[in-house]
Structure 1
Amino acid sequence: MSSDNQAWVPEACILPSVQRPLRLAEFDDLFTTALREQQRLSPTHLRWRLDPSTEATARDLTDRESSCCSFFTFTITGDTDALRLDVQVPAAHVDVLDALAHRAAGMTA
């Protein structure tokens, strides 16, 4: 991964630079294997519908992401049909949400 791919990572992220490509790969894997639908509810609010069998993976990944990028708010709601993962950021970090939405686009399972 080139540094251009990480240009949208804000200074507020405390994940060491060497680990960022690995974390991004984890999100890419979740998008590729579990993402069913993506909705942009507002500039600061994104919703993903995931395969419900990926709940443990989604919870682990979002817990770890919240610990290094505290500006994220992840809310997971499960039902029998799909797992709903809401991602919210403050207005100052809309560019980060835009980048995640762009990565997820086209990776629907």
Structure 2
Amino acid sequence: MSDDHSWVPDACTLPTAERPLRLAEFDTLFRDALRGVDRLTDRHLRLHLDDAAEPAARDLIARESACCSFFTFDLARPDDSPLRLDIRVPGARVAVLDALALRATAARGR
């Protein structure tokens, strides 16, 4: 996946030097645990994850929420279905969600 971080918004408070590491964590989650990707709306992405990834996913989204408060993450296993991660953004941050969806789709295709 491209190392171009230009899509990371100024609203992100994660230090610039740590951003490649965080992206690598998302890439690893996507590569190892992603089972499906659904783009429900332009502002809502749903990722289907392997159940074993729940602890790592919870840790990652907690840290991401701390630096990029515009994200809304919901990690759940509704009605005993497989684990899913819903990611929502406000309209002004659709480009960020687009980039994340692209990374997820690319990692899944490997």
**Shared fold per TM-score greater than 0.5:** yes
Instruction: Give unpaired runs (5+ residues) of structure 2.
Output: none
Paired AA for residue 104 in structure 1: A
Identical aligned pairs, as a percentage?
A: 57
Letter in 2 for 1:84: R
Length, aligned pairs only: 108
CA distance in 2, matches of 1:53, 1:81: 13
Give the letter for the 1:42 counterpart: T
1:48 alignment counterpart: 47
TM-score, normalised to structure 1's length? 0.93
- For the residue of structure 2 that corresponds to 1:5, the secondary structure is coil
**Structure-2 separation of matches of 1:73 and 1:101:** 15
Inter-partner Cα distance in structure 2 for 1:99 and 1:107:
12
Provide Cα deviations, 1:73-104, integer angstroms capped at 9, x if missing partner.
Answer: 00011265521000000000000000000011
Structure 1 unaligned segments of length 5 or more: list them. Answer: none
CA RMSD of aligned residues (A): 1.8
Give distance in 1, aligned partners of 2:57 and 2:70.
Answer: 18
> Structure 2 length as normaliser, TM-score?
0.92
Which amino acid in structure 1 is aligned with residue 23 of structure 2?
Answer: L
Matched residue SS, 1:86: strand
- 1: CA distance, partners of 2:81 / 2:71: 25
